[in-house]
Amino acid sequence: MFNSATQYFSQSSAITILVLLILSIYFIITFWVFIDRFKLLHKRIAIETDSLKAIYMGVSRSVSKSSLLNAYLSKVDNPNSIILEAAASDAVRIATRNLTLLSIIASTSPFIGLFGTVIGILETFSKLGNQSSAALNIVAPAISEALVATAAGILVAIFAYSFHLILKRKAYELSSLLTSQSKMMLAQIDDNLGD
């Protein structure tokens, strides 16, 4: 395996190696963003779920001290729907940072891989053009080596797109929890004003 990889890189052009290097960086960034955001969203969802349960059960009349909404509510005297909506939007915006990066990686990596393949095939045909005859046993391995870049691009895109969708769903859960807490807070404020 190691010998074939070494042989592949020794026969590849600088552009093909650059394409594979870019895709490797994309791959690392994809996993880094996913792990970072997943941990953050998972933690935030757990905190907001507990806070919402406390409000539903009547244990608390406000969000918990660790809730994202608490930072905004502690700065105002009279919470209202506008403040709570702004707080929820800001919290989701911060929690979903770098999701656009995953989307960009998912959409561009197949094209980068395809670019590497096209360059590899062009180089293969230019080398074969200098030979008097080219049989299938000479052409096929060279083209299959060129297709490695496309496969790498598709692999990176699959992970980036899948991770983007998972994080988007987690962000939706966080947004729903924050919205529910906001509505409960407003309902309690309205009840207090009615009394």
What are the DSSP calls for 67-126, one per residue? SHHHHHHTT-SS--HHHHHHHHHHHHHHHTTTHHHHHHHHHHHHHHHHHHHHHHHHHHHH
Q: Which of 62, 25, 29, 46 is nearest to 164 (CA)?
A: 29
Residue 57 forms part of a structural domain: yes
Listed as own residue / partner, the contacts of 5-11 with beta carbons closer than 8 Å and 24 or more positions apart are 8/145, 8/148, 11/145
Residue 127 forms part of a structural domain: yes
Q: How far is CA 141 from CA 11, 21, 149, 174, 182, in A?
A: 12, 22, 14, 50, 62
Residue 5 forms part of a structural domain: no
- Domain of residue 92 covers 13-190
Residue 87 forms part of a structural domain: yes
Q: How far apart are CA 79 and CA 93, in angstroms?
A: 21
What pLDDT sits at residue 25? Answer: 97
Say which DSSP state 62 is in: S
Average pLDDT over residues 113-119: 91
What pLDDT sits at residue 3? Answer: 65
Please report, rounded to a whole number, the percentage of residues in the chain having pLDDT higher than 70: 85
> How does pLDDT run across 32-81, given as a tens digit for each residue?
999 999 999 999 999 999 989 988 887 887 788 888 888 888 887 777 88
What pLDDT sits at residue 16? Answer: 81
* Domains identified in the chain, total number: 1
Average pLDDT over residues 128-145: 71
Q: Which two tokens stand for residue 1?
A: 């395996």
Average pLDDT over residues 86-107: 90
Residue 129 forms part of a structural domain: yes
Per the model's pLDDT, the better-predicted residue between 63 and 133 turns out to be: 63
Per the model's pLDDT, the better-predicted residue between 71 and 194 turns out to be: 71
pLDDT for residue 190 is more than 70: no
Residue 3 forms part of a structural domain: no
Residue 117 contacts residue 20 (beta carbons within 8 Å):
no
Residue 173 forms part of a structural domain: yes
Residue 61 forms part of a structural domain: yes
pTM of the model: 0.83
